C-alpha cells in the first residue's frame, strides 16, 4: 500500500528534499500538549526561525483533517496551538484511525519519525524522547519512541530522556534493538532538565560534521535503525539535579497514588513538575528545544554536503 497518498508535503519542503537541501523535522505534540497558548505557538515559530538561521528548512509535522502533514503553515501551527488538548496525541497505533476519521493529531517522536521518513526527511529535532518507565518490569510501560528508533532511519536530536523514566533500562533497550546513542560533546546521557545522569553512553562526537558522517555511513550500510543524538541542555539553563529529582519523585508518587497510568503518565508528571518548580522546568524545556534545533539544522547542512 502506498502510504504517500495520505501525505501532504509543503512545497518548500518537497523542493528542498528533491534538491538534497537540508531539512529538519519538528514534532507537534509540544504545540498542542507541551505548553499553553500563545506561548506554544510563539515557541514553535521561534524553533522554525532558529532552523532557518542555521541554514536548513523547517518541517513541522502533524495530522490535520486526516492528512499527514510534513511542513505546516503559520495558520496551521496557530490552529494546533489554539485547539491544544482537544487535538489527539498521535502515536503509531493512532495514525490509521485518525486518518480514516479525518481527525487531527499532534505527532509524538514516533509519528514524527514515521511521517518524516515518508517525506524523505532524515533529521528531526525534539525535546526529549520517551523511554522505559519506572516499574516497567511489572507494568510493561515502554514508549513507542524506542521501538520506532529501532526501525525507522531518522536521526533524532534530543536532550536525552526525562528522568521521570528509568534511564538505565532505556539505554539497555536501545542497545538491545541496535540503536546507536551518541553524546554530542558529552560522555553520559543528559537527563533533559539537567546535563548529567550518571549513565555512560558509548560514543561521543563533538561536531555536526561528525554526527552527519556517522549517520550518512549508517544509511549507506543500509541499517534500518535511526540514530539518537543526546545533546545536553545549555549550562546556563540546566536545573539543579537535587531540586528536579525531588520534584520528579514527588510527582511519580502522586501519579501512583492517584492511579495515573499509560499515555496520561508523562503529561501528568510534566504538569506536576512545572507546578512544583514554579515554572522553571518549562523555561528549561523551551531552551533545550532551541538548542536541539540549532544542532539538528547544522547537522542537516553537513549531511546535505555529504550527499
Whether 233 and 300 share a structural domain: yes
- CATH code for position 292: 3.40.1790.10
Task: Give the span between the Cα atoms of 210 and 217, in whole angstroms.
Answer: 11
Whether 28 and 42 share a structural domain: yes
Task: Give residue 27's pLDDT.
Answer: 98
Whether 151 and 214 share a structural domain: yes
Per-residue pLDDT of the chain (307 residues; tens, 9 = 90+): 345 799 999 999 999 999 999 999 999 999 999 888 999 999 999 999 999 999 999 999 999 999 999 999 999 999 999 999 999 999 999 999 999 999 999 999 999 999 999 999 999 999 999 888 777 667 677 889 999 999 999 999 999 997 778 899 999 999 999 999 999 999 999 999 999 999 999 899 999 999 999 999 999 999 999 999 999 999 999 988 888 788 777 877 887 788 876 667 667 777 777 787 777 778 888 999 999 999 999 999 999 999 8
Whether 99 and 246 share a structural domain: no
For residue 256, give the nearest of 237, 272, 243 by alpha carbon. 272
- How many structural domains does the chain have? 2
Of 99, 121, 143, which marks where a domain is finished?
121
Whether 95 and 234 share a structural domain: no
Task: Give the span between the Cα atoms of 71 and 241, in whole angstroms.
Answer: 36
Helix axis angle, 109-119 to 11-18, nearest 10°: 60
Whether 132 and 95 share a structural domain: no
Whether 98 and 160 share a structural domain: no
Local structure of 213: helix, strand or coil? helix
Whether 81 and 141 share a structural domain: no
Catalytic residues: 27, 162
Which range marks the domain in which residue 53 is found?
1-121
Of 121, 145, 180, which marks where a domain is finished?
121
Whether 141 and 94 share a structural domain: no
Task: Give residue 31's pLDDT.
Answer: 95
Of 72, 103, 121, which marks where a domain is finished?
121
Whether 100 and 136 share a structural domain: no
Whether 25 and 111 share a structural domain: yes
Whether 67 and 167 share a structural domain: no
Strands (E), the chain: 7-9, 23-26, 57-64, 67-70, 88-90, 105-107, 123-125, 155-158, 181-184, 203-205, 227-230
Write the DSSP string, 120-183. T--EEE-S-B--BBTTHHHH--B-HHHHHHHHS--EEEESBB-TTB-HHHHHHHHHHTT--EEE
Amino acid at each position: 500500500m502506498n502510504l504517500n497518498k495520505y501525505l501532504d508535503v509543503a512545497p518548500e519542503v518537497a523542493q528542498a528534499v528533491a534538491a538534497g537541501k537540508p531539512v529538519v523535522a519538528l514534532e507537534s505534540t509540544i504545540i498542542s500538549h507541551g505548553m499553553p497558548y500563545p506561548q506554544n505557538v510563539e515557541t514553535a515559530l521561534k524553533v522554525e526561525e532558529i532552523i532557518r538561521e542555521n541554514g536548513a528548512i523547517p518541517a513541522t509535522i502533524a495530522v490535520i483533517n486526516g492528512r499527514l502533514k510534513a511542513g505546516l503553515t503559520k495558520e496551521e501551527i496557530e490552529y494546533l496551538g489554539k485547539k491544544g488538548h482537544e487535538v489527539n496525541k498521535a502515536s503509531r497505533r493512532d495514525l490509521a484511525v485518525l486518518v480514516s476519521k479525518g481527525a487531527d493529531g499532534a505527532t509524538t517522536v514516533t509519528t514524527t519519525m514515521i511521517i518524516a521518513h515518508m517525506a524523505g526527511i532524515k533529521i528531526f529535532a525534539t525535546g526529549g524522547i520517551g523511554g522505559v518507565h519506572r516499574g516497567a518490569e511489572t507494568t510493561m510501560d515502554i514508549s513507542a519512541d524506542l521501538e520506532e528508533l529501532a526501525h525507522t532511519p531518522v536521526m533524532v536530536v534530543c536532550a536525552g530522556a526525562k528522568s521521570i523514566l528509568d534511564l538505565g533500562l532505556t539505554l539497555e533497550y536501545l542497545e538491545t534493538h541496535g540503536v546507536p546513542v551518541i553524546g554530542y560533546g558529552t560522555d553520559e546521557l543528559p537527563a533533559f532538565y539537567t546535563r548529567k545522569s550518571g549513565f555512560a553512553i558509548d560514543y561521543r562526537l563533538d561536531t555536526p560534521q561528525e554526527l552527519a558522517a556517522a549517520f550518512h555511513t549508517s544509511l549507506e550500510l543500509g541499517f534500518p535503525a535511526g540514530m539518537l543524538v543526546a545533546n545536553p541542555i545549555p549550562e546556563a539553563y540546566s536545573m539543579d539535579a537535587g531540586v528536579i529529582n525531588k520534584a520528579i519523585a514527588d510527582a511519580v508518587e502522586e501519579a501512583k497514588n492517584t492511579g495515573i497510568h499509560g499515555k496520561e503518565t508523562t503529561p501528568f508528571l510534566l504538569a506536576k513538575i512545572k507546578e512544583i518548580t514554579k515554572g522553571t522546568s518549562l523555561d528549561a524545556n523551551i531552551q533545550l528545544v532551541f538548542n536541539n534545533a540549532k544542532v539538528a539544522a547544522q547537522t542537516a547542512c553537513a549531511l546535505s554536503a555529504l550527499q
